[in-house]
Amino acid sequence: MALQIAHNRDARGLQGVIFTRDDRAGEGKLSSRLGLVTEAIEAPEGMLSKGGKADYVIVDEAQFLEPDQNQLARIVDALGLDVFAFGITTDFRTKLFPGSQRLIELADRLEQLQVEALCWCGARATHNALTVGGEMVVEGAQVVVGDVNRPAEEIGYEVLCRRHHRRRMTSAAAHVGALSPDVLPVNHA
């Protein structure tokens, strides 16, 4: 969604500044799970200290922002710019990220994206599970950079429904390879 907003506004001649933090594609990158990547400014602690003329601001991985940051609200109020902040609200322990909590407290508007993630069982996924070697981890540092597309023996994330998150049942633990054992017939005629 962040990449789409940037594309649409850029196509209308608007200039934007994109910030990110700890993106899976590496420092100074904003990436999507579909493989799209664009350049971004890696947001250091203290945040938005870089950038030039801008008509809008996009911040991805906003959950990693410092909780005492108020720069985004000041950009909206003092400069009249649109600010789009994207991120998740809770960590793999189901605890609010401090940065997300502060953004929720300051936001003019909150929107849950309509891209529906599904648990391995087919139910709506609402929780993030941190996995190491395919096993769910429920303790440790709040920020652990991983990815959903890594081999099971590495650090990764899997989205789960609340029921399976509470049971610590990942797809690997359930020995599930696909949502359905039945393959749809395809006629290549």
SS3 for 39?
Answer: strand
Q: Is 61 a catalytic residue?
A: yes
Q: Is 29 exposed, middle or buried (0-12, 13-18, 19+ CB in 10 A)?
A: middle
Q: Choose the catalytic residue: 27, 39, 45, 61.
A: 61
Per residue, the 3-state secondary structure of 101-130, as one string, reads HHHHHHCCCCCCCCCCCECCCCCECCEEEE
Side chain identity, residue 118 = L
Q: What is the CA radius of gyration of the chain?
A: 19
Residues taking part in catalysis? 61
